[in-house]
Every structure is written in C-alpha cells, then in structure tokens.
Copies of this chain bind each other. A is one copy, B any other.
Amino acid sequence: MPKRSTRQKRAIHAVLHKAVGPLTANEILDLASEVSPGISLATVYRVVRAEAESGALSVVHLDDKVSRYEEADRHHHHHFLCQRCDRAFDIATPCDLVASYVPDNFEVTGHEITLYGHCVDCSASL
C-alpha cells in the first residue's frame, strides 16, 4: 500500500505550508527544488494530485488557466492575483454577504473572490 515519507513529499508539504497563497505546480517545483534539488515536475503533480483527491489540498482556478494548490484546512479566505508576476496571495475574507444576491432557485454551494492588480513587489519595481 502507498504512503511512504520521502524527501520530495516533505519538501512539497513544507513549501505549501509556508506559502502565502495558492501555488501552481511550477511554483511548487521551483520552491521545492531549493530544499530537494532534482525533484521533478511529474512528482509535484503526482503528490499534489493525490493530496487533492484525499482532500488535504484544494485546487483553485483564478483568472487564468492554471491550477493552483493550497492546504485545504486554511480558514476561509480569498485571493489576489498579481497581473504582473502572476503570483497569487491569500487575502482576508472581505465580506460574507456574498450569497445574498443570487437569483431565485439557484443553489449556491461555494464561491471564489479574486481581486487582481499589482502586488507590493510589482507596484514597487515599476
């Protein structure tokens, strides 16, 4: 049966744990490479996929076509996507009155709020 603790899995977990926002597979690869050199993209996808299926990670799709992964047990929050560097950041949940304007007979099960603009770093270096 599966489940063996490896250097690469630990690296991926660590990276996702200290992340300030959901990460793409490539971002995870880059960050995890610092700790576990040689780790491959395939491994990142494999691990991330397994954990997403087990419910440990959640997948989000912001205003582009890439999947980003984040720990599933975080408090409810929303995202900010920098249009310059394409990094995503968690932001405190703005408001929860969101659900109130839904058309009648529409059943809302979840929502995602994405703000976009320029992050600190990108606003600075301009």
Contacts of A107 in B (CB 8 A): 117-118, 123
B94 near A98 (CB under 8 angstroms)? yes
Instruction: Encode contact with B along A65-79: 1 for CB under 8 Å, 0 otherwise.
Output: 101000000000000
- Copies of this protein in the assembly total 2
Q: How far is the CA of A29 from the CA of B99 in the complex (A)?
A: 32
A116 at the binding interface (Cβ < 8 Å): yes
A118 near B113 (CB under 8 angstroms)? no
Shortest C-beta distance, A69 to chain B (Å), equals: 14
Contacts of A114 in B (CB 8 A): 111-114
B100 near A94 (CB under 8 angstroms)? yes
Given contacts A92-B101, A112-B116, 9 further A-B contacts (CB under 8 A): A61-B62, A61-B64, A94-B99, A95-B97, A99-B115, A108-B115, A110-B117, A111-B114, A113-B114
